[in-house]
Amino acid sequence: MIVLYGAGTTGRLIVRSLREQGKPLPVLVDSNPAKWGQVMEGVEVIDPSAAQGLYPDATWIASIIVPSMHKEVVDEIERLGVKTMPVWGFLPQRNAPLPESAKDSLLCIANPDADTWNFLWDQIHFRDDPENYRQMPYANIADIYFPEFIVRREDEHYVDCGAADGDTVREFRKRWPAYRHITAFEPDPRNRAACQQSLTGVHSLNMYELAITDHDGFVDYCFTGDYSAHIGTGDGGNVKCAKLDSLPQRVPPTYIKMDIEGAELEALWGARRILKEHSPVLAICAYHTSDHLWQIPLLIHAIQPNYRLYFRRYAEGSLETVWYAVPLSRETAPR
């Protein structure tokens, strides 16, 4: 029996991955009493002390990767005196190695700035030896989606796919106070309500109850009310979905961010006309499945080969990795 200590995004990713692999589901525990009794990814969250009594022979995993919080949870697990294992072997993004053919293609198309090369090689070596390889320091997460090598525009049309509670829109407005329009997509009802509340009064904003993918219609959706909400079966229902190419846009997007829990490839394919004709800046999360490390840049390059491709990592392990596609007109020299 496995006990995951930490019922946050990382814990849910692990539960989802184990289910997709047909493996036994873990016990999910958290130190926050407000989470006890909640059902997350089909698993009820319980009190750590209760789990210790119910499953005395279980192996415990600190299912959290934020360094300071990870240490707190590891210390608590050690205090409980239970068996433990490192989290890296259970993260879903480690399920597949990088094929040599993909590695060669990836290194050919990636932008040859020092940070991109360093983060790519670091990620490749980490996946080969996650328990013992010492990773290079990650980039400042305050810069995620809006790095210094992208030139700002005062007529920006920012498109947020996976707006969650509006946090990235708020950060965009802080960094780009002069812009033309914002379009946000968030299908989870609780997330969308929080987003609408936090963005009340924001000018030139349109929000849509849509999942962005590669077709128009409906998709199964797992509603969680947090950052782990995603396309797929679960305790949700279905939602309307659409291709970005199908949506009427009086002003073409100039900056597209995607953090949509594994649906990024489909969403990019559904935006291929926009990419070919308008070459907006892209900030695409690449950590929800293992092969997105190489599939996302290869797909972007196949659709629009004129992009410059940058890669950054903003957290421990393989998490919070982002590919940026930048047209030459929007590029500055990285520091």
Place of tokens 């609408």: 196
Q: Where in the chain is the domain with CATH 3.40.50.150?
A: 100-209+245-330
* pTM reported for the whole predicted model: 0.80
Q: Where in the chain is the domain with CATH 3.40.50.720?
A: 2-90
Report the range of poorest mean pLDDT among 22-26, 42-46, 227-231.
227-231
pLDDT higher than threshold 60 for residue 94: no
pLDDT higher than threshold 90 for residue 334: no
If one counts every other C-beta atom within 10 angstroms of the C-beta of residue 26, the result is 23
Q: What is the mean pLDDT of residues 79-94?
A: 78
Most confident of 8-17, 115-124, 268-277: 268-277
pLDDT of residue 318: 81
Report domain 2-90's class.
Answer: alpha beta
Query: Per CATH, is 100-209+245-330 categorized as 3.40.50.150?
Result: yes
